[in-house]
Amino acid sequence: MTENELLTLAMSTANRLKRFACHLCGDADGAEDLVQEGFLRALASRAQLRDRSRALPWLLMIVRRLFLEHHRRVERQSQLLEEDARLMDPPIGNLEEEMLRSTLSEEVSRALAALPEEWRTCLLLREVDGFSYEEIAQIVECPLGTVRSRIARARAQLLISLHTYAADHGIDQGARR
């Protein structure tokens, strides 16, 4: 892949790159710095990219690697959480779409932010960017089965948080396990 092809890719996916980095580091300015640094590294190592159709996941993988290099502590915390966590069975209740989009929208954001980075990254790559599990596995550099497990755990944890919040605030009366 030539420099210009990589540049064209980065320009055409600038919003996706920034969004991904923003979800990693949590602020818009830091996200732009992270993408720029990742892009520079991608330019230097573009010969390693064998499959051009996988260029975007490859670029995202580099951005995430950089983030983890800068935040080793976060990575270790996530690994500990993941090792300890067992997939819980979330309650089933009467959460409604309108409720999720209005009353609980802030709680969704809070619950997302509270997830381990690896769970949140896998979930957002799926929900927001629409990547397949196989592509996500490439980006986060883990087996496909781990991606499937992380996404499920992230969703389970979100549902638990939302049901708990709804029950505490008298919104979700019908939750059951």
Partner 1 sequence: MSCPDFESLSAEVDGELTELEAAAVRSHLDGCDKCRTRRIELLMLQGAVRDASVVPLASDGFKARLLATVRKRRRALALRVGLGLAAAAAVAALLLPLVHSKDVVAELVGDHLGTTVTGEEPFDVVSSDPNVVERWFEGKLDYRFRIPRPTPARLLGARLCNVGRRQFPLASYDREGRRVSLFALGTAAGSGQGACQEGVRGFTVCRQAAGGIEYMFVSDYPPPEAKRVLATMLSELL
Residues lying near partner 1 in the complex (CB under 8 A) are found at 2-5, 7-8, 10-12, 14-15, 17-19, 22-23, 28, 31-32, 35-36, 39-40, 43-44, 87, 89-90, 92-93, 95-97, 100-101, 104-105, 108-109, 112, 123-124, 126-128, 132-133, 148-149, 151-152, 155-156, 158-159, 162
DSSP 102-137: TTTHHHHHHHHHHS-HHHHHHHHHHHTT---HHHHH
Of 69 and 89, the one with the shorter C-beta distance to partner 1 is 89
Q: Taking the CB of residue 42, how many other CB atoms lie within 10 A of it?
A: 24
Using an 8 Å Cβ cutoff, are 151 and 65 in contact? no
Of 73 and 168, the one with the shorter C-beta distance to partner 1 is 168
Tokens in use for 55? 């260029």
CA nearest neighbour of 149 among 133, 165, 162: 133
Of 10 and 171, the one with the shorter C-beta distance to partner 1 is 10
Of 23 and 64, the one with the shorter C-beta distance to partner 1 is 23
Dist. CA 6–CA 52, nearest whole Å: 10
Question: Minimum distance from CB of 50 to partner 1 (Å)?
Answer: 18
Question: Minimum distance from CB of 122 to partner 1 (Å)?
Answer: 11
Dist. CA 138–CA 155, nearest whole Å: 21
Question: Minimum distance from CB of 110 to partner 1 (Å)?
Answer: 9
